[in-house]
Amino acid sequence: MDNITHTLTGLMLARAGLGNLAGGGTLAGGPASGRGQKGAAVMLMLAANAPDMDAVGGFGGALSYLQIHRGYTHSLVGVPLVALAALLVARLVARVRISRGAYLACVIGVLSHLLLDWTNVYGIRLLLPFSARWLRLDITDIIDPWMLAILIGAVAAPALAGLVGSEIASRKVAPPVRGWAQLALAALLLYEGGRWVLHERALNSLGAHLYGGDWLPTRVSALPDRINPWSWRGIVEGRGFVYEVPVDVWGEFRPDGGRMDYPTIGSPAVDAARKSDAFRVFESFNQIPYWRDSPLPNGSKIELIDMRFGTPQRPGFEAIATVDPAGRVIEPRFTFGQQR
């Protein structure tokens, strides 16, 4: 999930009452003071973003970022240390008191980050170091404008309500921030629950049909549309084919309204390429792989595409290499490309 969503979620958690767990508030004032409330808000916003400290892996290049991001800092075993790091930073920048309650609030803030990242198509490695499996729900895009609208509305509404109240009462009226924050968090849960129901309906539609005449799917995926919650991008995988088809959960599903593509099912050049670091790392990340072996005058062009972020016609996340007739892999590389 994008960091604006994480930040605003942390702010809502603080305003909804979680900031009171900070106990003594800031060094300059208790929880009742304005400074104490601001310190708690800063603490929760830091905690809600803290797992993304692994983005520093990007300084090592695209492949390094792919290896490190959403790894240990996004795992359950990493939560205690990530929460502690957020608390220590909050102590430095907002003078938050270090206490058991403040630490517990940071743990919840970190868990909110993991929960949001789990819902989208990128996924997280929640079970490291015991399992490197990527877990994802595919119910939201990495950037979800509806979630942002809920959170931004919850920030703007109490300020507007306080302004209107002050004008009517001819005196300063405290804005009802807590109620709006609680409402926003409840709305997020309701929205995510609705998305999950729609996703299940899309999967059921995809799995209930034959493709290409009489081909059974071996796996189906439904990826969310960024804007329209009713619209899903269906990907059907079968023996020797990948079929992409739009799904409208409220309309009639047309299994013949998509595009069929045929990936390469093993070749000496593919076997050679997948031993390189670029292909090995990307293959461990790739959740809907599409291999393509394209002949060249002197060898083959090998591509591995992640269908979550692109198509064979318009690749997004992709590993590419040239393999010569002797099986030597030339310039293997990974690129984020142009996403759909």
Q: What digits encode the pLDDT tens for the residues 311-321?
A: 999 999 999 99
According to the model, what pLDDT value does residue 86 have? Answer: 97
Read off the pLDDT of each residue in 40-45 and give the average, rounded to a whole number: 94
Residues 6+ apart with CB under 8 A from 120: 1, 136, 137, 138, 139, 140, 141, 142, 144
Read off the pLDDT of each residue in 319-333 and give the average, rounded to a whole number: 95
According to the model, what pLDDT value does residue 35 have? Answer: 60
Mean pLDDT computed over every residue of the chain? 90
Read off the pLDDT of each residue in 62-78 and give the average, rounded to a whole number: 95
According to the model, what pLDDT value does residue 213 have? Answer: 72
Give the tokens for residue 244: 């992409």
According to the model, what pLDDT value does residue 36 have? Answer: 61
Q: Which residues pair with 26 in a beta bridge?
A: 29, 96
Q: Which helix (H) or strand (E) holds 231?
A: strand 231-238
* Predicted confidence (pLDDT) per residue in 3-15, tens digit: 999 999 999 999 9
According to the model, what pLDDT value does residue 171 have? Answer: 53
Residue 317 DSSP code: S
CA 37 and chain centroid, separation: 29
- Asked whether the beta carbons of 7 and 42 are under 8 A apart, the reply is no
In 116-205, beta strands by DSSP E: none
Q: What is the pTM of this model?
A: 0.90
Read off the pLDDT of each residue in 19-36 and give the average, rounded to a whole number: 56
pLDDT band at 161 (very low <50, low <70, confident <90, very high): low
Closest-CA residue to 42 (of 116, 99, 105): 105
Read off the pLDDT of each residue in 286-314 and give the average, rounded to a whole number: 95
> For residues 252 and 27, which has the higher predicted lDDT (pLDDT)?
252
Read off the pLDDT of each residue in 138-151 and give the average, rounded to a whole number: 96
**% pLDDT > 70, the chain:** 90
> For residues 58 and 282, which has the higher predicted lDDT (pLDDT)?
282
According to the model, what pLDDT value does residue 320 have? Answer: 96
According to the model, what pLDDT value does residue 24 have? Answer: 45
According to the model, what pLDDT value does residue 4 have? Answer: 97
According to the model, what pLDDT value does residue 45 have? Answer: 97
Read off the pLDDT of each residue in 82-104 and give the average, rounded to a whole number: 94
User: Is residue 285 over pLDDT 90?
Assistant: yes
* Predicted confidence (pLDDT) per residue in 208-234, tens digit: 988 877 788 999 999 999 999 999 999
According to the model, what pLDDT value does residue 210 have? Answer: 87
User: Is residue 119 over pLDDT 90?
Assistant: yes
pLDDT band at 28 (very low <50, low <70, confident <90, very high): very low
Read off the pLDDT of each residue in 280-292 and give the average, rounded to a whole number: 96
According to the model, what pLDDT value does residue 85 have? Answer: 97
**Vertex 49 angle, CA 333 and 107, to 5°:** 125
> For residues 60 and 279, which has the higher predicted lDDT (pLDDT)?
279
According to the model, what pLDDT value does residue 339 have? Answer: 54
- Omega of the bond prior to 332 within 30 degrees of 0, cis? no
